[in-house]
Amino acid sequence: MGKILVTGATGQVGAEVLAQLLAAGADVRAGARTPEKLAPPAPVETAVLDLTDPATYGPALAGVEKVFLYAVPQGTAGFLAAAREAGVRHVVVLSSQTVVDAFPVQKPIVEMHRAVEEAVVASGIPYTLLRPHNFATNILMWGWPESIRAEGRIRFPYPESHSDAIHEKDIAAVAVVALTGQGHENQAYFISGPRSITQREQLADLAEALGRPLEFEELTDAEAREALAPIVPVWVMDAVVGYWAGSDGIPTEVSDTVERLTGRPARTFAEWARDHAADFTA
C-alpha cells in the first residue's frame, strides 16, 4: 500500500483518520494549513496544505497514492487536478448525507457538499464518498461545554429534536477501511450513529458521563437564534435551527454501514460523551 495523504489533519475527523491509519501501520503524510498544530500519537511526516493555495499542492501530493479529502468548494477542483497529475489512484471524501436527504432550510449546506462531490466525480479519480449526517461533535459548537461547565445546564431549543449523532471515530474507521481495503471505489456510504437520539437524551448521557445532574432549559426559536447569532453566520443558523424544528419529535434515519464495513457496531452517544467528558469540565 502506497502513501496516504490525510488532509485537514488537525480537525476532529482528520485527526482520527490519521491516528487510525498510523495504528494500522500505513505510510501516512498529514496535510494541514498549520501542521505545527498537529499532535499525532506517533511521529508522522507532515506537509503544509491549503486547498486555496495551489503552491502547496505539489509537496503535499508527492509520492501519494491515496487521499483522505476534507474538502471545501474553494480550491477542490484545482487540488483534484493536481492529484490526478501526481498519480493519485483513490480519494476518500468527507461529504454529507444532506446531498440526498435534507430539509429545505439546509440548501446552502447541500450546495456546498454537492459542489465538492461533483468536482470529485468530474476529476476521474476513483472515489469513495462518506456521507455522515449529524456529527456528535456538533454540540461542541453550540455552547454546550461552556454552559455545562458554568451552570450545569444548557439553554437550547427543541429538546425532542432527533439526531443520528455519529462519533468521529466511526467516521474515521469507515474512511480507513475505504483507504486500506478493496472494492470501495466509486461508492457512496451513508454513515450514522446506532440510533436516533433526542437532544434531551444527549444531555442525559452527558450527565451520566460527568457524574452530575444537568438541566435542559428550553429556548424558543427566536431566543435560540438570538443566542446563536454571535457564534455562527446567519445561513448556518437558519440551517441548524430549521433542522432542529423539522426534526422535533421525529426520529431520523440511521444506517448499519459502520458495522457492515468495520465489523463492529457504531459507537453510542453515551460512548462519545465519555470520550469527551474533558470538554465539559473546567
Backbone dihedral angles phi then psi of residue 10, each to the nearest 5 degrees:
-90, -5
* pLDDT for residue 102 is more than 70: no
* pLDDT for residue 105 is more than 70: no
Q: How far apart are CA 198 and CA 196, in angstroms?
A: 7
Which of helix, strand or coil describes residue 90? strand
Q: What is the pLDDT of residues 67-98, one digit of tens each?
A: 999 878 889 999 999 999 999 999 999 999 98
Q: What is the pLDDT of residues 209-237, one digit of tens each?
A: 999 999 999 999 999 999 999 988 998 89
High-pLDDT (> 70) share of the chain, %: 99
CB 245 within 8 A of CB 104: no
Q: Which candidate, 245, 179, 174, 142, places its Cα nearest to that of 25? A: 179
**Mean pLDDT over all residues of the chain?**
94
Which of helix, strand or coil describes residue 87? coil
Superfamily, domain 3-134+166-191: NAD(P)-binding Rossmann-like Domain (3.40.50.720)
pTM attached to this predicted model: 0.95
Domain 137-164+194-252+268-280 fold: UDP-galactose 4-epimerase; domain 1 (3.90.25)
Give the contacts of 79 (CB within 8 A, at least 6 positions apart).
51, 54, 57, 69, 71
pLDDT of residue 74: 86
Cα-based distances in Å from 53 to 48, 58, 191: 10, 11, 31
Amino acid identity of residue 217, one-letter, is E
CB 4 within 8 A of CB 66: yes
Residue spans of the domains in the chain: they are 3-134+166-191, 137-164+194-252+268-280
Backbone dihedral angles phi then psi of residue 165, each to the nearest 5 degrees:
-35, 120
- What number is the average pLDDT over the span 116-144? 95
Q: What is the pLDDT of residues 241-270, one digit of tens each?
A: 999 999 999 999 999 999 999 999 999 999
Handedness of CA 163, 168, 170, 171 (dihedral sign): positive
CB 167 within 8 A of CB 267: yes
pLDDT of residue 65: 98
- What number is the average pLDDT over the span 16-42? 91
106 band by pLDDT with thresholds 50, 70 and 90? confident
Amino acid identity of residue 105, one-letter, is V
* pLDDT for residue 193 is more than 70: yes
- What number is the average pLDDT over the span 197-213? 98
